[in-house]
Amino acid sequence: MKKAFITGIGSGLGKAFVNVLLKNGYSVYALSRHLPDEFNGKIKFEKVDLLSLENVYKSVDSLLRGERVIDLVFLNAGMLTPLKDIHDTPIYEMNRMMDINVWANKVILDYFIDNRIYVDQVVAVSSGASVNGNRGWHGYSISKAALNMLIKLYSREMTQTHLVALAPGLILTPMLQDFVLSADEKKFPSVKRIKNSPKMTPEEAAEKIFSLLPHLKSFESGSYVDIRKI
């Protein structure tokens, strides 16, 4: 049975991706704050707030101790705060995005290396915001750009593993609805563009990403890949 490790399954893409993994016969190990009722008894789950970086390593250990091989690591958990100018965004707020979107993933990848767990494929969920630099995306853009580089750097060290940072396209999730679609479209032109662009449901996005997993391996390990361009 194939094994997948995933972060952030309380809502949106992560929750839908767990369903796709289960449908495809994977054994699922998940780290998140919330366990949706529908997964109770179906997956191995460790509750953790990824903002508490000091708890992340031991939570991964509780979940994976004794495992030797993980087929897929899906680093999905992410945080966006309401769009605003970077001038108006305090550093502590941007640090929170850095902790979840970047540093929690470092701790997790370090766990795999330290414990010599063979990982076949890593997909870290990035964003077009990592390269666009649109007005209002403050520390989220910075954190996702840093995530792209984090994955490239680990690809140099995890030579037996294939890694990509994947921009998943626009998905109608709480993150998009609460923080982007409700933002000021005059001040932040990307909001209007996003409103007018096609969006996937979390289920559609999860199915698409799952079906693309073999294809992602055709990119050089460590690459940033935008799903809309493949």
The answer to whether 105 contacts ligand NAP (rule: CB under 6 A) is: no
Contact yes or no for 160/118 (Cβ under 8 A): yes
The answer to whether 192 contacts ligand NAP (rule: CB under 6 A) is: no
The answer to whether 14 contacts ligand NAP (rule: CB under 6 A) is: yes
CB contact set of 89 (below 8 Å; sequence gap of 6+): 81, 138, 139
Taking the least distance from each CB to ligand NAP, the nearer of 69 and 230 is 230
Cβ atoms within 10 Å of 177's Cβ, excluding its own? 12
Residue ranges in 19-48 that form contacts with ligand NAP under rule CB under 6 A: 32-34
The answer to whether 173 contacts ligand NAP (rule: CB under 6 A) is: yes
The answer to whether 147 contacts ligand NAP (rule: CB under 6 A) is: no
Cβ atoms within 10 Å of 34's Cβ, excluding its own? 12
The answer to whether 174 contacts ligand NAP (rule: CB under 6 A) is: yes
Taking the least distance from each CB to ligand NAP, the nearer of 10 and 82 is 10
Residue with tokens 């409103």: 195
CA 3/CA 118 separation, integer angstroms: 11
Of 87-95, 108-116, 169-177, 208-216: span binding ligand NAP (CB under 6 A): 169-177
CB of 228 to ligand NAP, least distance (A): 11
The answer to whether 168 contacts ligand NAP (rule: CB under 6 A) is: yes
Contact yes or no for 104/152 (Cβ under 8 A): no
Taking the least distance from each CB to ligand NAP, the nearer of 38 and 69 is 38
Contact yes or no for 230/215 (Cβ under 8 A): yes
Taking the least distance from each CB to ligand NAP, the nearer of 13 and 150 is 13
End-to-end CA distance of the chain: give it in Å, rounded. Answer: 29
CB of 1 to ligand NAP, least distance (A): 24
The answer to whether 79 contacts ligand NAP (rule: CB under 6 A) is: yes
Contact yes or no for 52/60 (Cβ under 8 A): no
CB contact set of 23 (below 8 Å; sequence gap of 6+): none
CA 144/CA 133 separation, integer angstroms: 11
CB of 79 to ligand NAP, least distance (A): 5
The answer to whether 9 contacts ligand NAP (rule: CB under 6 A) is: yes
Query: What residues line the site for ligand NAP (CB under 6 A)?
Result: 8-14, 32-34, 49-51, 76-79, 100, 125, 127, 167-168, 170-171, 173-176
